[in-house]
Amino acid sequence: MLVTGGKWHDFDYARGELLGLLRGDARLEVHERRDYEGIEEIEAAQLLVTYTCDLIPAYPIQQRLRSFVERGGRWLALHGTNSVLRFIDDGRVDTPDDAPLLMDTLGSRFLAHPPIGRYTVRPTAIEDPLTHGIEPFQVEDELYLAQVLAPARVLLETDFEGDTPRFTSASWPRATHPVLYERTLGRGAVLYLTLGHCRGHGDMRPLVEHYPRIERGAWESPVFRRLLNRCLTWGAAARA
């Protein structure tokens, strides 16, 4: 099951790219939704793939998503899935803790990112199938800064020190931040990859009528595509 939707991103682009990858895997029968409301369909799947932003299901659905993983389901969560964004009067963006159960299931909660720029991503588990043979690489994307909420096996990481003045969490001392991690929960697991920002001209409405740039972030990186394929292999390997 692929779920794409929410705010502030080019979900049509991400949906098309992900469907192309998913439907290219003969092991998978692919279904898609724009929200979490078809929870029965999600529960019937073995793999849930999400590319969302500020898309928060009702609490009973959050409970069922957690149970889906605990029973043995796998959840590949991409980019903004752990984001709750509120634009406040002074122009900054707040990231309130409005969905603690969902974020605990995912293992992290988005807090801020600096302006889109190039940064270095390093593998931490060289022999793992997800990162084997991948050298440190540079990518131009949103560098996600998050609150880590659960123990996880970090597979890719990056460093950051500086300010994120657009967000209420605005000052960051030098620290290492996960880019790809696996969070085990019951019999199942969540695999979270923070890369993959994309935005088109109309994706900031109603705040901005015409966004001036087309942004494709890590989607233009061959390493990101390679990682996505490996993440889907991780998900397809799950069996109920």
Domains of the chain, residue spans? 2-236
The pLDDT, as a whole number, for residue 240 is 41
Q: In the predicted model, what is the mean pLDDT of residues 72-90? A: 97
DSSP 136-182: PEEEEE---EEEE-S--EEEEEEEEEEE-TTBSS-EEEEEEEEEEEE
Contacts for 116-119: CB closer than 8 Å, 24+ residues apart = 116/140, 116/141, 116/142, 116/197, 116/215, 116/217, 117/143, 119/143, 119/158, 119/160
Confidence check: pLDDT of 236 > 90: no
The whole-model pTM stands at 0.97
| Cα separation of the two ends of the chain | 15
2-236 maps to CATH 3.40.50.880: yes
- Alpha-carbon distances, residue 126 vs 77, 117, 131, 221, 224 (angstroms): 22, 26, 6, 20, 16
Q: In the predicted model, what is the mean pLDDT of residues 90-118? A: 97
Distance CA 83, CA 95 (A): 7
pLDDT digits (tens, 9 = 90+) for 110-167: 999 999 999 999 999 888 999 999 999 999 999 999 999 999 999 999 999 999 999 9
Confidence check: pLDDT of 239 > 70: no
The pLDDT, as a whole number, for residue 125 is 86
Average pLDDT, the chain: 96
Q: Are strands 171-185 and 137-141 parallel, antiparallel or unpaired?
A: unpaired
Helices (H), the chain: 11-23, 39-43, 59-70, 100-106, 222-236
Instruction: Please give the residue that has the higher pLDDT: either 195 or 240.
Output: 195
Query: pLDDT > 70: what percent of the chain?
Result: 99
pLDDT digits (tens, 9 = 90+) for 4-43: 999 999 999 999 999 999 998 888 899 999 999 999 999 9
The pLDDT, as a whole number, for residue 24 is 87
Distance CA 204, CA 73 (A): 33
Q: Are strands 137-141 and 145-148 parallel, antiparallel or unpaired?
A: unpaired
The pLDDT, as a whole number, for residue 177 is 98
